[in-house]
């Protein structure tokens, strides 16, 4: 794809924490600040928490993504309307997620995007409608569990791709570079 950019926007990397992730979703990990419920079994050796408010109104799937490092440039941003997509690291390797606040507009607010570094011990669940790019690996073979609706997976299939974008009942994936002429890069 040979798209000319008229402007470059550099996003600084911010370490993800409970407070700065809140406008985009919820932190999912040991530092989620949620009280544990002790199990009635196992003599207190098992405690269970519900650190995020996961939502899906239909069949949902777990998939495993093995992410390799790629250029730290954002071409696409997408959002989902029917579920709170979740990313959970398995390998303890850090990754970066670019997020934009949910809105009712055709595009995200490009000048308000944030790039968050997750340390590999915590993942996140996005609010419905949060704009995002698929996470960027910092290291080779970064394994991340992705929880999303089956419909979303179908919306991402090549049958739904028109002019390099995908749309469906639960997906709005836009080519931000083509639509805005702005090259968005992570300031690593």
Look at residue 44 in the predicted model and tell me its pLDDT.
Answer: 67
- 106 by DSSP, 3-state: which? coil
Structure tokens at 121: 């011990």
| Nearest Cα to Cα of residue 95 among 74, 131, 68 | 68
Least confident of 45-49, 103-107, 120-124: 45-49
pLDDT digits (tens, 9 = 90+) for 61-103: 788 999 999 999 999 999 999 888 999 999 899 999 999 999 9
Residue holding tokens 């990397």? 13
pLDDT digits (tens, 9 = 90+) for 128-156: 999 999 999 999 999 999 988 877 777 77
Task: Sketch out the chain's domains with CATH numbers.
Answer: 7-187 (2.60.120.480)
Global pTM value? 0.87
Least confident of 97-111, 154-168, 169-183: 154-168
């Amino acid at each position: 794809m040979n798209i000319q950019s008229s402007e470059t926007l550099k996003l600084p990397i911010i370490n993800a924490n409970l407070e700065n992730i809140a406008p985009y979703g919820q932190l999912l990990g040991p530092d989620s600040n949620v009280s544990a419920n002790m199990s009635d079994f196992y003599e207190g050796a098992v405690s269970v928490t519900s650190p995020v408010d996961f939502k899906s109104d239909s069949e949902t799937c777990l998939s495993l993504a093995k992410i390799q490092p790629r250029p730290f440039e954002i071409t696409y941003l997408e959002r989902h309307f029917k579920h709170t997509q979740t990313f959970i690291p398995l390998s303890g390797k850090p990754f970066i997620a670019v997020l934009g606040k949910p809105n009712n507009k055709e595009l995200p607010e490009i000048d308000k995007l944030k790039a968050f570094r997750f340390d590999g011990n915590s993942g996140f669940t996005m609010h419905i409608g949060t704009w995002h790019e698929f996470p960027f690996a910092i290291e080779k073979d970064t394994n991340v569990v992705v929880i999303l609706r089956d419909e979303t997976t179908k919306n991402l299939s090549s049958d739904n791709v028109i002019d390099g974008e995908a749309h469906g009942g639960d997906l709005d994936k836009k080519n931000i570079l083509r639509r805005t002429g702005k090259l968005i890069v992570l300031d690593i």
